[in-house]
Amino acid sequence: MTVTLGILALLEAQPGKGSERAEFLKKARELAVAEEGTASWYAFKVSDTSSGIFDTFVTDDARTAHINGQIRPPWVPAGRLASDPTIRSVDVLAFK
């Protein structure tokens, strides 16, 4: 399996809503596990209000299916994010 594609999504929570956002991201893992084409899925915390998701894919069809699947904006119920998520498609240059 050669992972060559990814998605990087950065989230900024409203002040005081970081723990709610973190709980949602932990629950979202179940949705990613159910996706056949998602090779890896990570939810991470940068600070009390900043977090993100990084996922990888072998094919563009798998990445597109993920983008159009159940894990898509709005990931967090209204009023939890300070701004719209920043979502970037990326190319994976190397992995282990």
Cis check for the bond before 74: say yes or no (omega within 30 of 0).
Answer: yes
How far CA 17 is from CA of 13, 51, 82, in Å, comes to: 6, 12, 9
Predicted model pTM: 0.84
Question: Which domains does the chain possess?
Answer: 5-91 (3.30.70.100)
Residue 84 token pair: 């719209």
Distance CA 55, CA 53 (A): 7
Distance CA 16, CA 18 (A): 6
Tens of pLDDT, residues 19-35:
777 788 888 888 888 88
Tens of pLDDT, residues 50-86:
999 999 999 999 999 888 887 665 555 566 778 888 9
Could you tell me which residues come within 8 angstroms of residue 47 by beta carbon, excluding any fewer than 6 positions away? 18
pLDDT score for 39: 94
